[in-house]
Chain A
Amino acid sequence: QSALTQPRSVSGSPGQSVTISCTGTSSDVGHYNYVSWYQQHPGKAPKLMIYEVTKRPSGVPDRFSGSKSGTTASLTISGLRAEDEADYYCCSYAGRHTVFGGGTTLTVL
């Protein structure tokens, strides 16, 4: 039940695109198409942005997209906006339990 690996931080300018990676193992990310991504602003609860690798909940802008290759999942945010500055966490089903990543802080320059 080890945490998924994410870069500590990424940054980009308004209008640019950034990609956040999430590396797991053959027991979680590599085995199941049940990867989700969460956005968290300071002092707030996490908010679901992507589920089942590529699906967006209602209300999430299509600037947010997800993908997966092997044991690495990715979240891409295009057309960066100031309000996208937050912590982002990936999450994967791992068979009767779920594991989160350590988190990536996105800074919009």
Chain B
Amino acid sequence: EVHLGESGGGLVQPGGSLRLSCVASGFTFSAHWMTWVRQAPGKGPEWVGNIKEDGSAKYYVDSVKGRFTISRDNAKNSLYLQMTDLRAEDTAVYYCARDLPGYGAYGVWGQGTLVTVSS
């Protein structure tokens, strides 16, 4: 069965850092672009960024450029989101998702992990 599982969320103070992980199973992880999507409470999803199959290309939404870094370890079937200089507006459930071939469609999602930025 295809599965994605996020971990690493929690409560962090403004200006702090957090690293999210996403472990994949049931498919060839190294053959897919992967994406992070977040959803603030009561809001629609927001695309955060994505990473190419081999990690050679990464793209980010403007609001996180310079603060968030996406990486992957294909040997461990794992995707990561390193978040620094966190702000209240980064509070959201963070999902990892598997890209469909093509652009901008996500066929497999994890259950999400909640990040709360508050003092």
The reply to whether B105 and A100 contact each other, CB–CB distance below 8 Å, is no
The reply to whether A34 and B111 contact each other, CB–CB distance below 8 Å, is no
Q: B86-106: which have CB < 8 Å to A? A: 95, 100, 102-106
Chain A residues within 8 Å of B15, by CB: none
A47 to B109, CA, bound (A): 8
The reply to whether A45 and B95 contact each other, CB–CB distance below 8 Å, is yes
The reply to whether A1 and B62 contact each other, CB–CB distance below 8 Å, is yes
A35 to B100, CA, bound (A): 12
CB distance from A8 to the nearest CB of B (A): 11
The reply to whether A91 and B103 contact each other, CB–CB distance below 8 Å, is no
CB distance from A78 to the nearest CB of B (A): 22
The reply to whether A52 and B105 contact each other, CB–CB distance below 8 Å, is yes
The reply to whether B106 and A36 contact each other, CB–CB distance below 8 Å, is yes
CB distance from A101 to the nearest CB of B (A): 6
Indicate the size class of the contact surface on chain A: 20 to 34
Closest A-chain residue to B109, C-beta based?
A: A45
The reply to whether B102 and A51 contact each other, CB–CB distance below 8 Å, is yes
CB distance from B68 to the nearest CB of A (A): 13
CB distance from A7 to the nearest CB of B (A): 13
Binds A, one of B24-32, B43-51, B74-82: B43-51
Could you name 27 residue pairs across A and B whose Cβ atoms are closer than 8 Å?
A: A1-B61, A3-B44, A34-B104, A34-B105, A35-B104, A36-B104, A36-B105, A38-B45, A45-B109, A45-B111, A46-B45, A46-B95, A46-B106, A46-B109, A51-B105, A52-B102, A52-B105, A89-B44, A92-B104, A94-B104, A96-B59, A97-B61, A98-B50, A98-B104, A100-B45, A100-B46, A102-B43
